[in-house]
Amino acid sequence: MTTIKDIAKVAGVSVTTVSRALNGYSDVNEKTRQKIMAVAKELKYSPNTLARSLVMNKSNTIGLLVSGLTRSSAKDNFTFKILSGVNEYLSNSGYDLVLFSTTSTKQREKTYTELCRERRVDGVIMQGIKTDDPYLIEVVDSDIPCVLIDIPIESDTVGYVTTDNISGAKKAVQHLLELGHKKIAMVNGHEFAFVSKRRLEGFMEAHHEMNVPVNPSWIVSGAFDEDEAERQALKLLTDFPEITAVFCASDLMALGVIKAAKKLKIDIPTQLSIVGYDDILLASYVSPALTTVAQDIYQMGYKSAELLVQMLQGDAVSHIITLENELKMRESTAKNHDC
């Protein structure tokens, strides 16, 4: 493997000059530069970023720490979209991407902070981390520049990107209320996700604004899981047949609710309206096509990377980015026939 030392020898200059020439410094004779460049090319020189990073104390690497990069996460490819977006921005930014992944089941032997420090990443983007994850706090409290996805924590070194989950949920529920539904259930995610809290808030707000009472028994947790949502919905729709609409905190869970409804021979949308959240690919393919709150997850990834790089360069205007969402009306919602 060629080093600048080799180049220096062949070109008959010092390593300093080689370094300067290669890095485009101005204080090097044009002829010398030409010569060095030629030798570098001839020797097929590739700079050793390890050495450079070591001495510059900057790796030009950003970490992407995700949870749920598993076989099963292909259906709801949230993680993939984030990754694509991050990658898209980073590929034009001079930073490389190293991927750290974690699963909620298996506890890591190293903390996220250690992971980042060992690899000397310049910053990290985190997605899918539960809010009760102790390693999360550790990173946030450390001096590692960090962008969180859907976790609203901000500090000097921490920023986040999210969507307006309150308004998203509100739009969904308002839509149902406008269709005449008064008995609306909610299948929420788990308590360790900020989005769940926000979406519940939106659910509440929409009801209050229209002066429609909320029945707490109709709010259940589907743990962001299709099967769990199905089980919960089965129970819910059996116990409370008066329910005419369900708002789900994710499309995946909405899929589960649809299954439950089918099992109970409840027709969608004539007997039961369903609204999801996310607008995953499947949402427009299932039958009936799912009305849902669309968020641009790819864009969230892209913006996260952009924000982090700006933070690293010290020119981030704000550490908070909130993206819009949009209610997509499809076939799973209809007028309430009871009214």
Partner DNA sequence: TTGAAAGCGCTAACAT
Partner DNA sequence: ATGTTAGCGCTTTCAA
Binding residues for DNA, rule: CB under 7 A, are 1, 3-5, 12-17, 19-20, 22-23, 26-29, 31-32, 45, 47-48, 51-52, 54-57
d(CA 68, CA 284): 23
Question: In whole angstroms, how close is the CB of 92 to a second copy at the nearest point?
Answer: 9
The smaller minimum CB distance to DNA, of residues 24 and 134, is found at: 24
- 322, interface contact from a second copy, DNA, none, CB < 5-8 Å by kind: none
The smaller minimum CB distance to a second copy, of residues 258 and 293, is found at: 258
Is 119:107 a contact under the CB 8 Å cutoff? no
Our finding on whether 210 is near a second copy (CB under 8 A) is no
Our finding on whether 134 is near a second copy (CB under 8 A) is no
Asked if the bond preceding 241 is cis, omega within 30° of 0, the reply is no
The smaller minimum CB distance to DNA, of residues 46 and 238, is found at: 46
- Site stretch for a second copy (CB under 8 A), options 76-84, 145-153, 175-183, 209-217: 76-84
Is 117:57 a contact under the CB 8 Å cutoff? no
Which of 118, 134, 314, 339 touches a second copy (CB under 8 A)? 118
Residue in the structure block whose two tokens are 């970023």? 49
d(CA 134, CA 156): 20
Burial environment of residue 53 by CB neighbours within 10 A (0 to 12, 13 to 18, 19 or more): middle
Tokens in use for 171? Answer: 């739009």
The smaller minimum CB distance to DNA, of residues 45 and 218, is found at: 45
Q: Which residues pair with 130 in a beta bridge?
A: none
- 87, interface contact from a second copy, DNA, none, CB < 5-8 Å by kind: a second copy
Neighbours of 215 (CB within 10 A): 13
The smaller minimum CB distance to a second copy, of residues 81 and 207, is found at: 81
CA distances (Å), 271 to each of 175, 199, 237, 246, in order? 16, 24, 11, 11
Is 248:257 a contact under the CB 8 Å cutoff? yes
- Site stretch for a second copy (CB under 8 A), options 96-104, 150-158, 236-244, 330-338: 96-104
Question: In whole angstroms, how close is the CB of 102 to a second copy at the nearest point?
Answer: 8
Interface with a second copy in residues 250-289 (CB under 8 A) = 281-282, 285-287
Tokens in use for 273? Answer: 């309206």
Find the helix or strand (DSSP H, E) in which 126 lies.
Answer: strand 123-127
CA 141 to chain centre: 21
- 15, interface contact from a second copy, DNA, none, CB < 5-8 Å by kind: DNA
Question: In whole angstroms, how close is the CB of 101 to a second copy at the nearest point?
Answer: 5
- 99, interface contact from a second copy, DNA, none, CB < 5-8 Å by kind: a second copy
- Nearby residues of 169 by Cβ (< 8 Å), 6 or more positions away: 198, 199, 200, 201, 202, 203, 206, 247, 249, 277, 293
Our finding on whether 157 is near a second copy (CB under 8 A) is no
Tokens in use for 109? Answer: 């032997």
Is 193:237 a contact under the CB 8 Å cutoff? no
- 93, interface contact from DNA, a second copy, none, CB < 5-8 Å by kind: none
Tokens in use for 337? Answer: 């026939």
- 117, interface contact from DNA, a second copy, none, CB < 5-8 Å by kind: a second copy
- Nearby residues of 167 by Cβ (< 8 Å), 6 or more positions away: 202, 325
Which of 9, 75, 208, 337 touches a second copy (CB under 8 A)? 75
Tokens in use for 154? Answer: 């901000």
The smaller minimum CB distance to DNA, of residues 115 and 220, is found at: 115
Our finding on whether 32 is near a second copy (CB under 8 A) is no
Footprint on this chain of a second copy (rule: CB under 8 A) = 1, 46-51, 53-54, 59, 61, 69-71, 73-75, 77, 79-81, 83-85, 87-88, 91, 96-101, 113-114, 117-120, 281-282, 285-287, 298
